[in-house]
Structure 1
Amino acid sequence: MQVDIDLQTVVMLHAGSLLAILLLVYRGIFRALKNWKILINLVISTLPAMFVGLFFEEQVEAVFSNVGFLPFFFVITAVFLLLSSLKDGEKSLDHMSARDALLIGLFQAIAILPGVSRSGMVLSAALLLDYRREESVTYTFLMAIPVLLGASLLKLRETSLTMNPAFLVSFLSSLVALVILKKVVLVRKLRWFADYCLVIAFLSFLLG
């Protein structure tokens, strides 16, 4: 019985985060629906993480079981955030190439590892590829939709769906966090998150 309750909570957490993203990026969703190229690129960007999840599940689980890797993975996120904080590109999602979409997807695949931020890696990849800051944030949010939707549907197959307080908590906390993230990126203070990751890396090294 306890397992079923835990699964319901996981589904509600994913659903709350998904709703927050949908509210923040609904204009981007309509834009993608009107532009088939953006939709195709989103599919391309999703493929690497799917590939890693399907064919390297055991290896990823082995890494998760070793907390000694955590400081290193936090540093990876910090380094890419620092590098991307220096970029201020001009490229638009409307003209994204399949190559760029694949590279961004590879960055997301790295985030399967513990301590590596999915949104941080996707955002860093888009910025490093010279996409505008607002465009990079939009693409990062759009890429989160299939991830959260897929995770929710997978867990939903194993449990019944009932309303859970976790949904509201997840929705509100995700909404606040995403608004802050967008603001930080647009005002060019992304290195704040990099500094945070370095602090967490140091603490996890001490505790490990």
Structure 2
Amino acid sequence: MNIFEAIFLGIVQGIAEFLPISSTAHIIIAEFLLGHSIPGLSFEIFLHLGSIVAVIFYFRKDIVHLIQVFFRYIAKRRREDRPEFFLCLYIVLATVITGILGVFLEDSLGSALKTPVMIAISLTLTGIFLIVIERAYTIGNRTVDEMTTLDALIVGLAQTVAVIPGISRSGSTLIAALFSGLDRETSVRFSFLLSIPVILGSTVLALGDITDGSLASIGAVSLVAAFIASLITSWLGIIWLINFLNKGKLTYFAIYCFLLALVTILFLDPGSVVVE
């Protein structure tokens, strides 16, 4: 892999990771455009590391605040700290649900999840749900002070479905949070904060799959370039999405998902299986 291909894939990963359009589907199509697939998980790990560093850096003050509030509430039981304390518990609960059920779902269905047809169907479903939540369902007005355990359960279950390539993690959690009746600001914040333990956890678990051979085949310079490209574009993607959701419509993302599903069907071999 040359450095330009690495940067291209890093940009694709960074832009798509936090938008409700499925980064997995974009990486697969990008590999097709480049004419080859990436063997092993080593390169993918570096791409995700760039995204996770970006989201941690962007929400660094929020993360520090939540950690301080969590332990302060345990020690002092201050009433004003209660909502943020429970937000931490909700993040843990949703993460545990995703971790347990996600592994079970992936192990059960295996390669059946990774065909172009399945990816196209998943993208289409993501688009449909984005339209439904935007047009057919009244977006709620509950803030973090009014979040419940049920909200965390619903979002955690929705995030579990994102193990299917083509189902956007950010899209599924955002849709579920809005469906639960949370307002946009709370839904976006919860979705982004929830991405940190999920992406970080999956990346750490995948570290054992790194091999010297796969690293050598990609090259150190290409890995670093992909990481930097992913970090920068993930950062820009986070900023853009938060600003967009304050005034934009989810329908635009739905239309994009439909078009991407069509591209997947037209240009990827329907009988092929994505190899990671």
Report the TM range for the smaller structure's normalisation.
0.7 to 0.9
Cα–Cα, structure 1 residues 151 and 99, in superposed 2: closer, same or farther, change >3 Å?
same
Q: CA 1:179–1:8 in 2, change beyond 3 Å: closer, same or farther? A: same
Mapped to 2, the partners of 1:83 and 1:27 lie a distance apart of 34
Q: Out of 49, 70, 79, which is 2:119 matched to?
A: 70
Query: Is residue 106 of structure 2 the alignment partner of residue 57 of structure 1?
Result: yes
1:167-182 alignment, distance < 5 Å: 167-182=227-242
1:186 pairs with 2:246: yes
Q: For the Cα contact (< 8 Å) 1:8–1:164, is it kept in 2?
A: no
Could you say if the C-alpha distance between residues 168 and 99 of structure 1 is closer, same or farther in structure 2, counting changes exceeding 3 Å? same
| CA apart distance, 1:198 | 1.1
Structure 1 gap segments, 5+ residues each: none
TM-score (norm 1): 0.87
1:114 to 154, 158, 165: 165
Instruction: From 24, 45, 59, give the equivalent of 1:11.
Output: 45
Report the Cα distance in structure 2 between the residues aligned to 1:94 and 1:12, rounded to whole angstroms.
36
Cross-structure match for 1:48:
97
The one-letter code matched in structure 1 to 2:143 is: S
* Correspondence for 2:181 among 115, 126, 130: 130
Cα distance in 2, alignment partners of residues 31 and 188 from structure 1: 29
Match of 1:188, SS state, is coil
User: Structure 1's 30 and 94: CA in aligned 2 closer, same or farther, altered over 3 A?
Assistant: farther
Residue 129 of structure 1: how far off its partner (Å): 1.5
Counterpart residue type for residue 10 of structure 1: E
Is the Cα contact below 8 Å between 1:14 and 1:151 reproduced in 2?
no
Quick one: distance in 2 between partners of 1:101 and 1:169? 32
Q: Distance in 1 between matches of 2:235 and 2:248?
A: 20
Instruction: Please tell me the residue identity of whatever aligns with 2:184.
Output: R
Distance 2:134 2:64 in 1: 28
What is the aligned partner in structure 2 of residue 200 from structure 1?
260
- The percent of aligned pairs where both chains have the same amino acid is 30
Computing the radius of gyration over CA atoms, which structure comes out larger, 1 or 2?
2
Per mean C-alpha deviation after superposition, the further-off stretch among 29-38 and 68-77 is: 29-38
Give the superposed CA RMSD.
2.3
Cα distance between partner residues in 2 of 1:183 and 1:36:
26
Partners of 2:266 and 2:42 lie apart in 1 by 34
1:156–1:62 distance in 2 versus 1, CA, 3 Å: closer
The one-letter code matched in structure 2 to 1:54 is V
| TM-superposed deviation, 1:144 | 0.6
Q: Corresponding residue for 1:96? A: 147
Q: What's the CA shift for 1:59?
A: 2.8
| Number of the residue aligned with 2:79 | none
Deviations 1:134-156 (A, max 9, x none): 11111111011011211221233
TM-score normalised by structure 2 residue count: 0.67
User: Please, which runs of 5 or more residues in structure 2 have no aligned partner?
Assistant: 1-38, 70-83, 271-276
Deviation readout 1:116-146 (Å, 9 max, x if unpaired): 1000010111112221211111111101101
Q: How many residues align?
A: 204
Q: Which runs of 4+ in 1 moved over 6 A?
A: 160-163
- Say which is worse superposed, 153-162 or 46-55, in terms of deviation: 153-162
C-alpha distance in structure 2 between counterparts of 1:154 and 1:201, whole Å = 30
Q: How big is the shift at 1:47? A: 2.4
Cα distance in structure 1, aligned partners of 2:126 and 2:61:
28
